[in-house]
Structure 1
Amino acid sequence: MMAQTETAPFRLDDRVAIVTGAGRGIGRAIAQVFAKAGAQVIVATRTTAPGEETVRLINEAGGKAKLVTVDLAKRDEAISLVNEVAKTFGRIDVVVHNAGVFPIVSIEEISEEDLEETLNVNLKAAFWLAKAAVPLLRAAPSPRLLFTSSVTGPRVAMAGLVHYGASKAGLNGFIRGAAMEFARDRITVNGVEPGLIRTDAMDVLADAEQQEQMAAAIPLKRLGTPEEIAYAMLYLASDQAAFVTGQTIVVDGGSLVIENAAADE
């Protein structure tokens, strides 16, 4: 018989959670949902104003949030973020690396700067955040390392985003390997792979008409919302996901089902 937990489902009461890229879109939604679930959220952003807005929204809703500005393309700043949170709160329970960059550029035209920034923020920062946070996570009752990946790269391809896809495919490899490495410490490592989500970033990739066409091709006939990614993250952060590690949850409205079915024909 399965053991019953006394913990309320999907709560993060009194836990300290770092959420990178929390100034807008999916990151902001994760920060808000975690705060609503009881976490003290560290809103980590590269630019101040969007992060301040996220903190304001959380505090006005009765949650707790603190802003830390950080450029995750730089190793030392990623490590300093973790150290600053540890110094302020004395603990870290959850790290969500959501920050990502995606300059739209072809392989033939990509610059060293574009490639370095993409790999540094999307992939290498995962190593530096984990390296700095794991000593503190070992002391947490329910330690979590979580990552926003993407269906682009691990499962599908998109012209102009080969560098982004490569970084996310690498991130999925990191999730699986880190899950094995940190299992002995009870630190679970998981991620979410969003499909087409209605965010500011989507507005960069496609105009309103193109987004309507994208939505029509999705089995559920709409784009996803940042909150739908955030609630998948909340599950992975919760006590109820304690036996889940080395996994990614695809949240794409069924898009991959169509592609897999076409491949089988």
Structure 2
Amino acid sequence: MELAGKVAIVTGGASGIGFATAKAFLEKGAKVVIGDYNEEGGQQAEQQLKESGADVTFVNVDVSKEESVEQMVAATVKRFGRVDIIVNNAGIGVLGVTHELTYEDYHKVIAVNQDGVFFGAKHAIINMLEHGDGGVIINTSSILGSVGEGGAFAYNASKGAVNLMTKSLALQYAEHKIRVNAVAPGYVETGMVSKEALGDFYDALVDKHPVGRLGQPEEIAHAIVFLVENEFVTGTTIMVDGGYTTQ
């Protein structure tokens, strides 16, 4: 798929992997809607990207609420006429999760990381079927959708579900020319995942990656662009993890 002229939604697009993905799409000529819970951050991201002449807009969204996601898709269609691509990237991270798991904690993670993917895919597919030209769904999974980690029960469960949701949706909608793939990052350098924020734990994370460093948001965005552009790839989850899951 050529990205020029296509309309893409990127949830969690105000920072990190989402922002890098929005920027990568815009550089290839796409029109982008940044969906994010952080209103201030989303507006700042929109303004920053618009300075380069990009066709981008921000929509405030809570992906754990179906009505909010439906409104985001409706706003996209109102602004740009259609949805060609959605990147279900918004999520709650694993860092900070404690070993004392409560149902409230579990449900919060599932609501964002798993339900958010369902809502995003559902409402994007409705529009893709309406315009009849197919489309692409990319889900942000994680290495922890394939391997376990102590203290991350809910996160593991949510990302494992994303991997299988990706396969199932790809099978169900292939005949409609809708491709569904996922990207599974290792630990990626962001504001929350940095030497300054994590101290010695940062070094422990680095040691888990055979390449000897953490990932960069742009590297994950590059994989997402590949999954969008390559029309012979569907139903797969690509590991972008510095070798983490090879061990």
TM-score range, shorter chain: over 0.9
Cα deviation, residue 110, structure 1: 2.5
Gaps of 5+ in 1: 1-9, 260-265
Provide, for residues 75-127 of structure 1, a one-character-per-residue CA deviation record: whole Å limited to 9, x for no partner: 211111112211222111000000001363345x3333322221111111222
Counterpart amino acid of residue 137 in structure 2: L
Deviation at 1:74, TM superposition (A): 1.1
What is the match of residue 90 of structure 1?
Answer: 81
Residue identity over aligned pairs, in percent, reads 34
Q: Deviations over 1:129-188 (max 9, x none)?
A: 222111322336451011110011x22222221101100000111000000111110100
Q: Distance in 1 between matches of 2:121 and 2:187?
A: 27
Q: Partner residue of 2:244?
A: 255
| 2:128 maps to 1:131 | no
Matched with 1:150 is 142
For 2:86, the aligned partner's letter is V
Instruction: Give 1:195's aligned amino acid.
Output: G
1:113 alignment partner, one of 104, 107, 114: 104
Local SS of the residue matching 1:105: coil
- The normalised TM-score by structure 1 is 0.86
Q: Classify the secondary structure of the residue corresponding to 1:131.
A: helix
Distance in 1 (alpha carbons) for counterparts of 2:92 and 2:78: 28
**Alpha-carbon separation, structure 2, partners of 1:205 and 1:101:** 20
What is the CA RMSD across the aligned residues, in angstroms? 2.0
**Distance between the aligned counterparts of 2:196 and 2:233, measured in 1?**
33
Write the distance in 2 (CA, Å) between the matches of 1:117 and 1:132.
Answer: 21
Q: TM-score, normalised by structure 2?
A: 0.92
| Number of the residue aligned with 1:19 | 10
Number of residues paired by the alignment? 245
Higher mean C-alpha deviation, range 65-74 or range 154-163: 154-163
* Offset of residue 57 of structure 1: 2.2
**Which ranges of 4 or more aligned residues in structure 1 deviate by more than 6 Å?**
none
CA distance in 1, matches of 2:231, 2:91: 26
Contact 1:106 1:160 in 2 (8 A): yes
Q: 1:204 to 1:178 in 2, by over 3 A?
A: farther
